[in-house]
Chain A
Amino acid sequence: EVQLVQSGAEVKKPGESLKISCKGLGYSFTSRWIGWVRQKPGKGLEWMGIIYPGDSETRYSPSFQGQVTMSVDQSISTAYLQWSSLKASDTAMYYCAGAVAGRFDPWGQGTLVTVSS
């Protein structure tokens, strides 16, 4: 069974850095794009970008370009989403999901990021 397992919830202060993870299980990790999706509290889904673990090719949504960095570590089948300086407005649930043929499936369970002073 193809699964994506995300790291646990984080509580950070504004200005701090953060890296959350998404581990692929049950498939060839380098063969499938992985997307990241943000969901602010009580709001809808926003596509942030996708990364191809095979060669780390990355495509960012214009709304998130320069705000976050996506990366992978093939050796441990894990994708990452990172911030260099968090803001309160980054408070949200972040999902990773397999991206194939223009759709997202499966989805990770989500990582809740809370940024508060």
Chain B
Amino acid sequence: EIVLTQSPGTLSLSPGERATLSCRASQSVSSTYLTWYQQKPGQAPRLLIYGASSRATGIPDRFSGSGSGTDFTLTISRLEPEDFAFYYCQQYGNSLYTFGQGTKLEIK
């Protein structure tokens, strides 16, 4: 089973700053099957980025994804107040899905 490790666990930034979230896999992951979600308190997760770098419908262009192999990154170019939330990466391979443990993006 592929283990996804997200870092940092908590990221404290101010609105307007740039956020960089990391997702590292225990073995190589197909970029096609690397996905990022956003979850706000009391809400279901929402699809942000799929295929490592494609934005889902309606996602602002300040969100971008990159990476390949075992190292993937979610970048938020200029934080808006509504971006402070939890972020999870997820992979699919060998008929199994796994999630990272999440990064909490909080207001500094």
User: Chain A interface (Cβ within 8 Å of chain B)?
Assistant: 35, 37, 44-47, 50, 59, 61-62, 95, 97, 99, 101-110
Do A35 and B45 touch across chains, with their CB atoms under 8 A apart?
Answer: no
> How far is B44's CA from A107's CA once the two chains are assembled, in angstroms?
7
* Contact (Cβ within 8 A) B47 A103: yes
A103 x B99 contact (CB < 8 A): no
Closest A residue to B96 by beta carbon equals: A61
A107-B99 contact, Cβ under 8 Å, with A44-B88, A102-B32, A102-B33: no
- What is the minimal beta-carbon distance from A101 to any residue of chain B, in angstroms? 7
A107 to B56 CA separation, bound complex (whole angstroms): 14
A-B CB proximity, top 5 nearest: A102-B92, A102-B33, A105-B47, A47-B97, A107-B44
Tell which of A35, A45, A106 has the most Cβ of chain B within 10 Å: A45
Docked Cα-Cα span, A106 to B37, in Å, equals 11
Which size bracket describes the interface of B in this complex?
Answer: 20 to 34
Bound together, the chains give a CA A97 to CA B90 distance in angstroms of 14
By a CB distance below 8 angstroms, the chain B residues around A108 are 44
Residues A44 and B98 in contact, CB atoms below 8 Å apart: no
Q: Is B65 an interface residue (CB 8 A)?
A: no
Q: Which residues of the other chain, A, contact B96 by a CB distance below 8 angstroms?
A: 47, 61-62
- The docked-state distance in angstroms from the alpha carbon of A107 to that of B93 is 20
| Chain B residues within 8 Å of A45, by CB | 37, 39, 45, 88, 90, 99, 102
Bound CA–CA A106/B90 (angstroms): 15
Q: Is there an interface contact between B35 and A103, defined as CB atoms closer than 8 Å?
A: yes
**Bound complex: CA A6 to CA B36 (Å):** 23
Q: Is the CB of B46 within 8 A of A44?
A: no
In the bound assembly, the distance between CA atoms of A107 and B99 in angstroms comes to: 15
Q: A102-B32, A102-B92, A103-B90 given as contacts; is B45 within 8 A of A44 (CB)?
A: no
Query: From residue 2 to 40 of chain B, which have CB atoms closer than 8 A to chain A?
Result: 32-33, 35, 37, 39
14 A-B residue contacts at CB 8 Å? A44-B88, A45-B102, A47-B90, A47-B97, A50-B97, A97-B45, A101-B33, A102-B32, A102-B33, A102-B93, A103-B92, A104-B45, A104-B90, A107-B44
